[in-house]
Amino acid sequence: MTYAWLDLPAEAVDQAARALLGWRLTANGVTVRVSEVEAYSGLGEDPASHAHRGVTGRNAVMFGPAGRLYVYQIYGMHFCANIVCGEEGRAAAVLLRAGEVVDGLPLARARRPAARHDRDLAAGPAKLMQVLAVDRSGNDTSVIDGTGPVTVSPPVSPPGPISAGPRVGVTSALDVPWRFWLTGDKTVSGYRRHTGKTAAKPRPGR
Name the residue among 26, 53, 111, 122 with its Cα closest to residue 62: 53
When computed from its CA atoms, the radius of gyration of the chain, rounded to whole angstroms, is 15
| Predicted structure pTM score | 0.89
Residue 175 buriedness (CB in 10 A; 0-12 / 13-18 / 19+): exposed
Check if the beta carbon of residue 121 is closer than 8 Å to that of residue 133: no
At 83, is the secondary structure helix, strand, or coil? strand
57: amino acid identity, one letter: G
DSSP state of 149: S
pLDDT at position 54, please?
74
Number of Cβ within 10 Å of residue 78's Cβ equals: 17
pLDDT at 7 > cutoff 80: yes
pLDDT at position 193, please?
66
Confidence class for position 203, pLDDT limits 50, 70, 90 = very low
Average pLDDT value for residue range 152-167: 93
6-18: string of b/e by CB count within 10 Å (b at 16+)? Answer: bebebebbbbbbb
Measure the CA–CA gap between 158 and 57, rounded to whole angstroms: 38
Q: How many alpha carbons fall within 13 Å on the CB side of residue 78?
A: 15
Q: What percentage of the chain exceeds 90 in pLDDT?
A: 63
**Domains of the chain, each with CATH number or no CATH:** 4-182 (3.10.300.10)
